Amino acid sequence: MQELQKMKEEYIEDEDYNYEPFADTEEYKRVNSECINNWVAIMKQKGINGLEGVLDVATGAGTMVQLVFDNFPESWRKAAVLCLDQSAGALKLAQSKLEKTVETLKLVHSSIQDMTLPDNSVDIAVWGNGIHYLSAADQLECVKRIRKALKPGGFLFFNTAFYEEARPAETLPFYRTQVKTAVQYLRDNGVKRVKSDEKTEAAKFLPRSYYESLVEDAGFKLVDAKEFAVDMHKEAWEYISAFQQYAAGALRGYPIDDAVNAMRDSVGPSIELHGNRDQNGEPYITRKWLAISAQA
Ligand SMILES: C[S@@+](CC[C@H](N)C(=O)[O-])C[C@H]1O[C@@H](n2cnc3c(N)ncnc32)[C@H](O)[C@@H]1O
């Protein structure tokens, strides 16, 4: 247990950010499970009855692999898994979390842009919550590269909550109030913008139609595109807002630690003001996830 905690700390230091608390929330696990359930159903419909090799792109703490295996029929759980991430710390953490679940686990320490896997070597590739970090040109290049690594007829599945339709129009006042409140908090604390940097990739919300075309442009057949809505409560918003890349995308140019604190502390008043109420009277804001299935 202490060892796992140490690895988590190393991952956070190594990456200088912390995504894992958000990935551990019920909301995150539920919506990603729904995406994965849909992907498994598609494979069954297409007559797949077993898998040898699974490539997990941008593994992070291994959440997607865990959920994929939880949703796999028993006979598919023999599949070998290749976990690819540019963070060595993430891979170490994923390994420790997945060793009970996955019999044959291989770690690939590489960016997806530099991935070199043999052609026709895996049955499916899963890319959870990570494609939006790349520029459009890199996305196309990488999706093509994944296609080459897949066996003929293999599947690519990916999802993202950072696309144009992810934030329904009626939820936009929440985001505006959160950023306005955060900027006020920074001003009140005398924190100034240090640089006006490029828009981070995560802040670019490309439309669903773009992702549908992307897979076709890379030579895949688009099998399915589905959106899943999830009602996210205060704690989940606090965790995602404290994720450094999220805070940096929302408050560009501010020192990152201040941006994180400001974004996290602004969730409470913003969700109180704009949230819908669940049956317990707790406020929530709905976010959408796009899940794409494509066949080589
Ligand atoms: C938001 S986490 C997603 C983790 C996991 N797939 C999930 O869905 O929960 C993003 C992960 O992508 C990795 N990552 C970001 N850009 C990458 C790239 N270009 N190549 C490989 N990994 C990347 C980061 O190191 C991080 O571990």
DSSP reduced 3-state for 224: strand
Residue closest via CA to ligand 1's atom 2 equals: 60
- Alpha-carbon dihedral of residues 274, 131, 103, 63, nearest 10 degrees? -10
Ligand 1 centroid distance, CA of 229 (Å): 22
Q: How far is the CA of 112 from the centre of ligand 1 (A)?
A: 9
Residue nearest to atom 19 of ligand 1 (CA): 111
Nearest atom, ligand 1, residue 111 CA: 20
CA triple 214-120-70, angle to 5 deg? 75
| CATH code, 97 | 3.40.50.150
- Tell me if 278 is assigned to some domain: no
Ligand 1 contacts CB of residue 89 (under 6 A)? no
> Which tokens belong to 14?
């190594």
Pocket lining: 90 vs ligand 1, CB cutoff 6 Å: yes
Question: Distance between CA atoms of 84 and 107, rounded to whole angstroms?
Answer: 6
Gap between the Cα atoms of 156 and 168, Å rounded = 26
Q: Examine residue 154 and state whether it is found in any structural domain, yes or no.
A: yes
60 lines ligand 1 (CB under 6 A): yes
Nearest protein Cα to ligand 1, atom 14: 58
The count of structural domains within the chain is 1
Q: Measured between alpha carbons, how far is 13 from 272 in angstroms, rounded to an integer?
A: 33
C-alpha 197 – ligand 1 centre gap (Å): 22
- Ligand 1 atom nearest 133 alpha carbon: 16
**Distance from C-alpha of 23 to C-alpha of 46, rounded to nearest angstrom:** 30
Token readout for 259 is 């941006």
- The answer to whether residue 163 is domain-embedded is yes
Q: Is residue 149 assigned to a domain?
A: yes
For 89, the token pair is 């710390």
Closest of 33, 28, 20, 111 to residue 61, by C-alpha: 20
Taking the centre of ligand 1 as the mean of its atom positions, its distance from the CA of residue 209, in whole angstroms, is: 23
Predicted pLDDT at 198: 57
**Cα–Cα distances in Å, from 72 out to 49, 64, 224, 238?**
10, 12, 19, 31
The response to whether residue 53 sits with its C-beta less than 6 Å from ligand 1 reads: no
Atom of ligand 1 nearest to the CA of 63: 9
DSSP string computed for 87-99 = -HHHHHHHHHHHT
Q: Report residues of the chain scoring pLDDT below 50.
A: 12-13, 16-17
Q: If you ran DSSP here, which 8-state letter would residue 279 be given?
A: T
Residue-wise over 178-215: b if at least 16 C-beta within 10 A, else e?
Answer: bbebbbebbeeeebeeeeeeeeebbebebebeebbebb
**C-alpha 155 to ligand 1 mean position (Å):** 19
Residue 254 lies in a domain: no
**What is the whole-number distance in angstroms between the Cα of residue 9 and the centre of ligand 1?**
17
pLDDT value of residue 13: 47
Q: Is residue 190 part of a domain?
A: no
9 within domain boundaries: yes
* Residue 244 maps to a domain: no
Q: Which backbone phi and psi does 157 adopt, to 5 degrees?
A: -125, 130
Ligand 1 atom closest to Cα of residue 62: 5
Residue 160: which of 64, 48, 274 has the closest Cα?
Answer: 64
pLDDT in the model for residue 2? 58
Ligand 1 pocket, 59 CB below 6 A? yes
The boundaries of the domain holding residue 214 are 2-168+201-231+286-295
